[in-house]
Homo-oligomer: A and B are copies of this chain.
């Protein structure tokens, strides 16, 4: 156990750098923060490289292995390395998994594909929703925020420990789903789309959700088996993309 009291400490600088994608790629590590997520990481037996707390008494509730390096940091350092305004004072460093860029040979189950989803809070909420719905995997398509972005990590609330997160080209993935006989769905608002409640619950599908402002890339929509819309009964013109994902997944998943 080591006490650190200065923002100028080289470890503190490393943690701070992990807030950026460049820093995460260079170190191969990322920071999680907050009681719930650190607790989830421990429960799911993730390898915790470093654990940082502002109060030694916190350690009793955080049963880590002997291999974990433990640091007591000051509230100022907590604030400095946190991505929130009011840090809880509990942090851990984990290895980033590789970005799982290879499409599995045997594709099956229910999948969510993210096309150019930009808001990290939306992405994290979508991952958590897909986790709650029991999906088998998620693909972060191009333009979508980074899996290990601190805001994505915060709103995923540990779902990355429960399910596999891939990155890749959505068109390649769609071709693979179609080869595997798994039906692909897009979401759009036009005449070719059909209402989502015509879809029967099933255990095998791939759903593409698109950019908050522009929706799913037209090139992708052309290649799906079916495009869907959610009928609006009121006056709002659109739903938040994470809310729409929840409505669709909880209707689809058998």
Give the interface of A toward B (CB within 8 A).
121, 125, 128-135, 155, 157, 159, 162-163, 230, 232-236, 238-240, 242-247, 250, 253
The answer to whether A135 and B242 have CB atoms under 8 Å apart is no
Expressed in whole angstroms, the Cα–Cα distance for A232 and B246 within the complex equals: 12
Given contacts A125-B243, A128-B240, A134-B233, 8 further A-B contacts (CB under 8 A): A129-B236, A129-B240, A129-B243, A132-B239, A155-B240, A159-B236, A163-B234, A240-B246
Return A215 CB to nearest CB of chain B, in Å. 15
Return A120 CB to nearest CB of chain B, in Å. 13
Expressed in whole angstroms, the Cα–Cα distance for A168 and B236 within the complex equals: 24
Can you name 18 A-B pairs with beta carbons within 8 Å? A128-B236, A128-B239, A128-B240, A129-B239, A129-B243, A131-B235, A132-B230, A134-B232, A155-B240, A162-B234, A162-B236, A233-B253, A240-B246, A242-B242, A243-B243, A243-B245, A244-B246, A246-B246
Expressed in whole angstroms, the Cα–Cα distance for A11 and B136 within the complex equals: 55
The answer to whether A250 and B253 have CB atoms under 8 Å apart is no
Return A39 CB to nearest CB of chain B, in Å. 11
Expressed in whole angstroms, the Cα–Cα distance for A242 and B159 within the complex equals: 18
Return A6 CB to nearest CB of chain B, in Å. 29
Specify how many copies of this chain sit in the oligomer: 2
Contacts of A121 in B (CB 8 A): 121
Nearest chain-B residue to A197 (Cβ)?
Answer: B250
Expressed in whole angstroms, the Cα–Cα distance for A113 and B148 within the complex equals: 35
Return A60 CB to nearest CB of chain B, in Å. 22
Contacts of A128 in B (CB 8 A): 236, 239-240
In-complex Cβ contact of A247 among B157, B233, B235, B246 (8 A): B246
Return A248 CB to nearest CB of chain B, in Å. 9
Contacts of A159 in B (CB 8 A): 235-236
In-complex Cβ contact of A243 among B236, B238, B242 (8 A): B242
Nearest chain-B residue to A159 (Cβ)?
Answer: B236
In-complex Cβ contact of A132 among B134, B236, B242 (8 A): B236
Return A20 CB to nearest CB of chain B, in Å. 17
Contacts of A238 in B (CB 8 A): 132
